[in-house]
C-alpha cells in the first residue's frame, strides 16, 4: 500500500507521503505487509544480514519457532515483529524443569506451545520416536498443566504432537487418542490446535489437511485450527518448488481452518539437509533471496526481489533504535532514486 503512494507521479504526493511516514507511529509502518498466518521454521541462521531481512519493516512474517522452548534472542529480537512459539520436542524436554522456567519467562506475546515433534518418526530424521501410550502419559502429566495454568500460572494454548504427514502419522494419532482416554476417560488429551507437517506435492498437502480436519473436526466434533509447522517440496527443481509454494500460499491464506503455516525453511541452500535437498532454501549460498525466498516474502509487492540481501550490522542496530525513522529514510532514498 505504501509503495503505491510512492509510485504516484504527482510530486505533491511524494512529499505528503514522506511527511506522513516520518510522523506515523512505527508500529503502523512495520505492520503494513504482515500476514498473521505466515511464519518460519528457523534453524538458527547466524548470518545477521539474513535475519535482518526476515525481520525488516516490510516483512510479511509474524512468527517463528525453532523446535525448542529457547528463543533465538541473539538473532531475532524479542521485541521485534516475530512472535516466538516454544516447542517441547519430546519426553525429556517435557520432564526437564528448565523447560517450564524458560517458557514462563517468555514475553506475553507468546501464547501457544507446540508439543512433541514427529513422535512417529525416528530420531535420525528429527523425530522424537515416542510410543503413543508413553506420549499420552507425558502429555497429560507435563503438557496439559500449561493449559490449566498449573505450570507457572500462565494459561497457554497447547497443540497435540505433530506427526509426519502419512498414514503412519494418522495411525499414531488414533492410538495416542485411545491411550489418552484410557488414562483419563473424561478428558482424554485436551488440545487447542493441531500441528501438521507436509513434505510433498500441493495436492498431497490439501489431502493431508483434509484428513486431519476430518479426524478432529468432522469425526470427533471438535473445532480446531491447524498450524502447518513444516512444509516443503523436497528434492524438486526450482520451477516445481516455486509452483508448489505459490499454490500452497494462496490456498493456506484462504483456508479458514488453517491458522498458521511455516515453510521449511529459512536457511541458506548450503545449510539445507540432504533429505529435502537445497531447493527448499529461502536464501542462496551467498545470502541472497532465492526465487522461492522472494515469493515467500511477498515478492516485489512487498519490496523483495530474487538475489536481494539483508542489511549488515549497522542497519540492524539502527532498526532497533527506531524502526519508523529508518524506514522513512529508506523511503526517502526510494523517492530520490525514483523507484521502489
Ligand atoms: C471418519 O469417519 C468415517 C466414518 O466412520 C471413516 O470412514 C473415516 O475413516 C474417518 N476419518 C478419519 C480421518 O479417521
Ligand atoms: C478419541 O477417543 C474418544 C473416546 O473413544 C472419542 O470420543 C473421540 O472422538 C476420539 N477423538 C479423536 C480425535 O479421534
Ligand atoms: C502464482 O500463481 C498465480 C495464480 O494463482 C500466478 O498468476 C502467478 O504467476 C504464480 N507465480 C509464480 C511465481 O508461479
Closest residue to atom 11 of ligand 3, CA basis: 246
Quote the ligand 2 centre to 134 CA distance (angstroms).
Answer: 18
pLDDT band of 32, cuts 50, 70, 90: confident
pLDDT band of 128, cuts 50, 70, 90: confident
With a 6 Å cutoff on the Cβ, whether 171 touches ligand 1 is no
Confidence (pLDDT) at 126: 80
Per-residue buried b or exposed e for 190-224, using 16+ beta carbons within 10 Å of the residue's own CB: bbebbbbbbbbbbeebbebbebbbebbbeeeeeeb
Contact at 8 Å (CB) between 75 and 43?
Answer: no
Quote the ligand 1 centre to 219 CA distance (angstroms).
Answer: 6
Confidence (pLDDT) at 31: 72
Confidence (pLDDT) at 4: 33
Confidence (pLDDT) at 124: 84
307 by DSSP, 3-state: which?
A: coil
39, three cell numbers = 511464519
pLDDT tens-place string over residues 226-255 = 999 999 999 999 999 999 999 999 999 999
Q: Span 301-322, mean pLDDT?
A: 69
Which of the ligands is closest to the CA of residue 210?
1
pLDDT: which is higher, 322 or 126? 126
Give the containing element (helix H, strand E) for 277. none
The string of DSSP codes covering 174-232 is HHHHHHHHHH-TTT-S--SEEEEEEES-HHHHHHHHHHHHIIIIISS----EEEEEEEE
Distance of CA 100 to the CA centre of its chain: 22
The answer, yes or no, to whether residue 150 has pLDDT greater than 50, is yes
Q: Which residues contact 93 (CB under 8 A, 6 or more apart)?
A: 68, 69, 99
Q: Span 155-164, mean pLDDT?
A: 98
The C-alpha atoms of residue 315 and residue 49 are separated, in whole angstroms, by 9
With a 6 Å cutoff on the Cβ, whether 132 touches ligand 2 is no
Q: Span 181-190, mean pLDDT?
A: 98
The string of DSSP codes covering 34-74 is --SSEEEE------HHHHHHHTSTT----EEE-SSSS--TT
Q: Span 316-336, mean pLDDT?
A: 36
Confidence (pLDDT) at 316: 36
Give the containing element (helix H, strand E) for 151. none
pLDDT band of 312, cuts 50, 70, 90: confident
142, three cell numbers = 507435563
Q: Span 117-140, mean pLDDT?
A: 92
Confidence (pLDDT) at 12: 43
User: Residue 246: which of 200, 298, 317 has the closest Cα?
Assistant: 298
Confidence (pLDDT) at 20: 53
Give the domain ranges of the chain. Answer: 1-32+310-340, 35-304
Architecture category of domain 35-304 in CATH: Alpha-Beta Barrel (3.20)
Closest residue to atom 13 of ligand 1, CA basis: 215
Pocket mutation for ligand 1, best pick of 169, 173, 214, 221 (most atoms within 8 Å of C-beta) = 214
The C-alpha atoms of residue 310 and residue 316 are separated, in whole angstroms, by 9
Quote the ligand 1 centre to 144 CA distance (angstroms).
Answer: 27
What percent of the chain shows pLDDT beyond 70? Answer: 83
pTM: 0.84
Lateral strand order in the sheet of 83-84? 83-84, 63-65, 38-41, 258-263, 225-232, 193-199, 157-162, 112-117
Ligand 3, residues at Cβ distance < 6 Å: 242-243, 246, 250, 295
Quote the ligand 3 centre to 13 CA distance (angstroms).
Answer: 31
The answer, yes or no, to whether residue 313 has pLDDT greater than 70, is no
113, three cell numbers = 506451545
Contact at 8 Å (CB) between 51 and 76?
Answer: yes
Q: Which atom of ligand 1 is nearest to the CA of 214?
A: 13
Amino acid at each position: 500500500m505504501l509503495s503505491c503512494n510512492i509510485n504516484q507521479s504527482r510530486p505533491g504526493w511524494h512529499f505528503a507521503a514522506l511527511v506522513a511516514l516520518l510522523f506515523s507511529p512505527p508500529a503502523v509502518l512495520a505492520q503494513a505487509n504482515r500476514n498473521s498466518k505466515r511464519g518460519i521454521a528457523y534453524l538458527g541462521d547466524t548470518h545477521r544480514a539474513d535475519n535482518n531481512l526476515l525481520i525488516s519493516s516490510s516483512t510479511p512474517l509474524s512468527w517463528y519457532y525453532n523446535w525448542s522452548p529457547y528463543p533465538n534472542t541473539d538473532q531475532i529480537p524479542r521485541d521485534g515483529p516475530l512472535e516466538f512459539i516454544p516447542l517441547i520436542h519430546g519426553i525429556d524436554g517435557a520432564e526437564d524443569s528448565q523447560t517450564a522456567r524458560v517458557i514462563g519467562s517468555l514475553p506475553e506475546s507468546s501464547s501457544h506451545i507446540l508439543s512433541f515433534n514427529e513422535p512417529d518418526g525416528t530420531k535420525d530424521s528429527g523425530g522424537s520416536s515416542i510410543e503413543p501410550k508413553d506420549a499420552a502419559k507425558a502429555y497429560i502429566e507435563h503438557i496439559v498443566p500449561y493449559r490449566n495454568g498449573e505450570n507457572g500460572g500462565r494459561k497457554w494454548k497447547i497443540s497435540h504432537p505433530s506427526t509426519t504427514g502419512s498414514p503412519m502419522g494418522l495411525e499414531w494419532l488414533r492410538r495416542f487418542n485411545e491411550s489418552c482416554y484410557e488414562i483419563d476417560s473424561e478428558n482424554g488429551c485436551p488440545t487447542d490446535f493441531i500441528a501438521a507437517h507436509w513434505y510433498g506435492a500441493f495436492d498431497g498437502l490439501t489431502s493431508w489437511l483434509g484428513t486431519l480436519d476430518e479426524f478432529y473436526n468432522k469425526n470427533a466434533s471438535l473445532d480446531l485450527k491447524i498450524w502447518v509447522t513444516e512444509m516443503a517440496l523436497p528434492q524438486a527443481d526450482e520451477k516445481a518448488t516455486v509452483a508448489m509454494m505459490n499454490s500452497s500460499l494462496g490456498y493456506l491464506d484462504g483456508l479458514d481452518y488453517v491458522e498458521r503455516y511455516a515453510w521449511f525453511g529459512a536457511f541458506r541452500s548450503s545449510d539445507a539437509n540432504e533429505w529435502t535437498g537445497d531447493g527448499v532454501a529461502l536464501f542462496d549460498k551467498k545470502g541472497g533471496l532465492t526465487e522461492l525466498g522472494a515469493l515467500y516474502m511477498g515478492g516485489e509487492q512487498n519490496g523483495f526481489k530474487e538475489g536481494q540481501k539483508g542489511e549488515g550490522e549497522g542497519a540492524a542496530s539502527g532498526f532497533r533504535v527506531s524502526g519508523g525513522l529508518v524506514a522513512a529514510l529508506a523511503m526517502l532514498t526510494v523517492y530520490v532514486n525514483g523507484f521502489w
